[in-house]
């Protein structure tokens, strides 16, 4: 598995849709972002899209892994790579938004991300289609941060 920084155009849009089902949303954060990927045999199998949002602060907008590679540690290794690269770029705080339940929340908490805010009805207001996981509709979004 090879990890690298690439141009956003090299990240398959279908892969980004694994983590964010809204093409409109993706098109707002993909330009001018840093794109980090994991490749296996030359194929992009995981991606992380990050944008600098303030002085020494960056936000993870999307981290996704191809279904074939999910739950095999690829996403964890990619996030570790991303955090190291962000520290090299003088980023000292990383933020992100995620649902209030599900494996994604656990994934981020294992890395030390902590909740600092709750955005009520975020997914109802910003997504035209319901986002359902394990039979439960996501409504609120948690904002998390990590000091690196």
Instruction: Write out pLDDT tens, residues 10-24.
Output: 999 999 999 999 999
> Which pLDDT value is given to residue 106?
93
131-142 per-position pLDDT tens digit: 888 899 999 999
Nearest C-alpha neighbor of 101 from the set 134, 75, 59: 134
Q: What is the C-alpha to C-alpha distance for residues 51 and 56, in angstroms, rounded to an integer?
A: 11
pLDDT of residue 102: 87
Tell me how far apart the alpha carbons of residues 30 and 74 are, in angstroms, rounded to a whole number: 21
- Exposed/middle/buried for residue 47 (C-beta within 10 Å: 0-12, 13-18, 19+): buried
Give Cα 4 distance to the centre of its chain: 16
The first and second tokens of residue 26, run together, are 């993706």
| This prediction's pTM | 0.92
- % of the chain residues with pLDDT over 70: 100
145 has pLDDT over 90: yes
**At 64, which helix (H) or strand (E)?**
strand 57-65
* H or E element in which residue 77 lies: helix 74-88
Distances (CA, A) of 38 to 24, 34, 56, 64, 81: 24, 14, 24, 10, 9
Q: What is the pLDDT of residues 60-79, one digit of tens each?
A: 999 999 999 999 999 999 99
Mean pLDDT for the stretch of residues 99-123: 94
Q: Which residues pair with 118 in a beta bridge?
A: 142
Q: What is the predicted pLDDT for the residue at 103?
A: 87
For 99, the token pair is 């649902």
Query: Domains in the chain, start-ordered, CATH in brackets?
Result: 2-147 (3.40.630.30)
What pLDDT does residue 55 have? 96
């Amino acid at each position: 598995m090879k990890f690298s920084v690439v141009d956003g155009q090299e990240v398959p849009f279908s892969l980004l849709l694994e983590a964010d089902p809204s093409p409109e949303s993706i098109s707002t954060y993909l330009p001018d972002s840093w794109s980090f990927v994991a490749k296996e045999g030359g194929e992009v199998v995981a991606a992380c899209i990050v944008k600098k949002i303030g002085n020494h602060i960056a936000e993870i907008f999307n981290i996704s892994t191809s279904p074939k590679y999910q739950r095999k540690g690829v996403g964890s290794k990619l996030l570790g790579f991303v955090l190291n690269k962000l520290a090299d770029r003088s980023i000292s705080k990383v933020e992100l938004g995620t649902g209030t339940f599900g494996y994604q929340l656990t994934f981020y908490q294992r890395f030390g991300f902590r909740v600092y805010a709750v955005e009520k009805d975020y997914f109802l207001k910003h997504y035209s289609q319901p986002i359902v996981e394990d039979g439960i509709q996501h409504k609120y979004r948690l904002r998390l941060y990590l000091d690196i």
